[in-house]
Amino acid sequence: MPRFYVTTPIYYVNDAPHVGHAYTTVNADALARWHRLAGDEVFFLTGTDEHGDKVARAAKENGASPTDWVDATSRRFVEAWRGLNISNDDFIRTTEPRHRVAVQSFLQRVYDNGFIELGTYSGWYCVGCEEYKDTSDLLEGRVCPHHRRPVEWLEEENYFFKLSAFSERLVDFYERHPDAIRPPGRRNEVLGFIKGGLQDISITRTSTTWGVPVPWDAAHVFYVWYDALINYVTAIGYGQDDERFVSWWPAVHHLLAKDIVRFHCVWWPAMCMAAGIDPPGHLVVHGWLLVGGERLSKTRIASAAGNADKAGPLSLTEIAPEALTEDFGVDAVRYFLLRDTAFGADGDFSYEGITSRFNADLANNLGNLMARVAMVVASKCKGVGPKPDPASRLQSVSAGAVADAISAWNDAQPHLALEATWRLIHETNSELESAEPWKCEPGPVVDAVLGSALEVLRIVSVLTWPAMPEVCAEIWRRLGLPGSPDGCRVPADTAWGGYPGGLVVEKGAALFPRRAR
């Protein structure tokens, strides 16, 4: 059985879950759900990144122990994902014992292989930022641009990862696997960066104890990024269950936003090579959601997010997913995130944007189709859904849409998959207009038209299940079908003719009540 391993980055617990996190996570979830429909064995991983001095300090400021602090902050992500119907199979936390074991095992291997050595890290350090600054980033008089205070020269003994040893191997790997990084523009950026020459990087800290201890030197803990990336192998048993590990690795799909490309596309593959395992197979990079739209939209989003009093424009990171799902419903938010932005490109996030998608796609097209079909079935077929017409024009329309949707889902392009699916909805509305079953006497002609429309709704609820599981299950139920779309298999259950007929069709309330404006 084919396997599909998909990950999100693990989210840093100092952030509150926001729409940017939700964007990546919903995309990963939709892909996971799609591959489950396809019959693949799926492992969908997300989690939280909980080490680093910033976390330790935040805990202290809040009068909590680091452990209590990360327990509380990590839980917010668990709850946010529950609220968005995220179907992750595992939720990893870097403070878990299994992760400490994996990190120590992984990096001990890298050390044993000779790719870690002791060195001195020195540079201009900003106490406020808690990080070293490049001289080119500093203002006049060696002042930190963020904190407006002078930086200090620090030297620290650190262990270094010999990243420089992997330039050629990385280039070679990416040239032999041209699809390893998508989209191609990101791949080119990475190749350009690598070819520009790689420097060794420090991977341990002595300035904090809130991290994974370096097994061969108790004075150090691993730098948080080095610890974090390894989560991807921890969760599938690295260092603890080799049989399980090799069954999932390296055919992984890492979803990530463009700002963390280097960590995932340069550091992480090199680390894997250094540890003697294959680099990750698929790095899928997407853009950022940007807050755009009119001033009104910001006001309304601010209002929805409980930030109505905040002055000035609202940033994406201030918008809580719960504020949106309360307002629009889980399915509509998921649909917007998946449909409105071409995966890979930057997208615009606005209240108008969601409202527009909600009304045009969900209320007017999908919801209304369900309502009008159910109504006519009630009046012309005594509420019992007829069989689809094998010769319906919609049969070939459906076949085309299904093929396109399958291809797009398989290619991690949800917006195209949904676009193709909605083409089928549109054609079905069109077909109803020309057949006008509500004007006809009950009989075979009416049955053929309505049965075909019901069949479209069945197929649509399978194709759309990865995006909107709740409403698809509801449509399924209203069609009188047993179970739910998640019991289906693609492509078998998207073939024309699957609706058996003879089932009681329920009208029900509007699936997506149209919204004002």
Q: Which residues of this protein are in contact with RNA, per CB under 7 A?
A: 9, 11-12, 15, 49, 52, 54, 121, 129, 131-132, 134, 137, 163-164, 185, 188-189, 192-193, 196-199, 201-202, 223-225, 228, 258-260, 262-263, 342, 345, 348, 356, 359-360, 363-368, 370-372, 375-376, 379, 426, 429-430, 432-434, 436, 438-439, 510-514
Nearer to RNA, 61 or 433 (CB): 433
Tokens of 210: 């809130």
Nearer to RNA, 4 or 223 (CB): 223
To RNA, the closest distance from the beta carbon of 137 in angstroms equals 7
To RNA, the closest distance from the beta carbon of 489 in angstroms equals 28
To RNA, the closest distance from the beta carbon of 41 in angstroms equals 28
Nearer to RNA, 35 or 211 (CB): 211
Residues 515/360, Cβ–Cβ less than 8 Å? no
Nearer to RNA, 241 or 259 (CB): 259
20-23, long-range: CB < 8 A, 24+ apart: 20/257, 20/288, 20/289, 20/316, 20/317, 21/77, 21/80, 21/321, 22/80, 22/84, 22/321, 22/333, 22/337, 23/286, 23/289, 23/337, 23/341, 23/347
To RNA, the closest distance from the beta carbon of 274 in angstroms equals 14
To RNA, the closest distance from the beta carbon of 122 in angstroms equals 9
Nearer to RNA, 288 or 493 (CB): 288
To RNA, the closest distance from the beta carbon of 407 in angstroms equals 15
Nearer to RNA, 86 or 228 (CB): 228
To RNA, the closest distance from the beta carbon of 228 in angstroms equals 6
Burial class from Cβ neighbours inside 10 Å (0-12, 13-18, 19+) for residue 483 reads exposed
**β-strand pairing of 41-49 with 3-7:** parallel
To RNA, the closest distance from the beta carbon of 63 in angstroms equals 22
Q: DSSP letter at 143?
A: B
To RNA, the closest distance from the beta carbon of 152 in angstroms equals 15
Helix (H, G, I), strand (E, B) or coil at 281: coil
Measure the CA–CA gap between 31 and 90, rounded to whole angstroms: 15
Nearer to RNA, 8 or 37 (CB): 8
Nearer to RNA, 463 or 511 (CB): 511
To RNA, the closest distance from the beta carbon of 118 in angstroms equals 14
Nearer to RNA, 375 or 504 (CB): 375
Nearer to RNA, 97 or 192 (CB): 192
Residues 6+ apart with CB under 8 A from 247: 3, 236
Measure the CA–CA gap between 447 and 456, rounded to whole angstroms: 14
Nearer to RNA, 71 or 189 (CB): 189
**Residues linked to residue 182 through DSSP beta bridges, in sequence order:** 284
Residues 6+ apart with CB under 8 A from 129: 144, 146, 147
390-394, long-range: CB < 8 A, 24+ apart: 390/496, 390/497, 392/431, 392/448, 392/449, 392/452, 392/496, 393/431, 394/424, 394/427, 394/428, 394/431, 394/452, 394/453, 394/455, 394/456
Residues 155/119, Cβ–Cβ less than 8 Å? no
To RNA, the closest distance from the beta carbon of 405 in angstroms equals 16
Helices 97-112, 268-275: crossing angle, 10 deg rounding: 70
Burial class from Cβ neighbours inside 10 Å (0-12, 13-18, 19+) for residue 450 reads buried
Residues 511/370, Cβ–Cβ less than 8 Å? yes
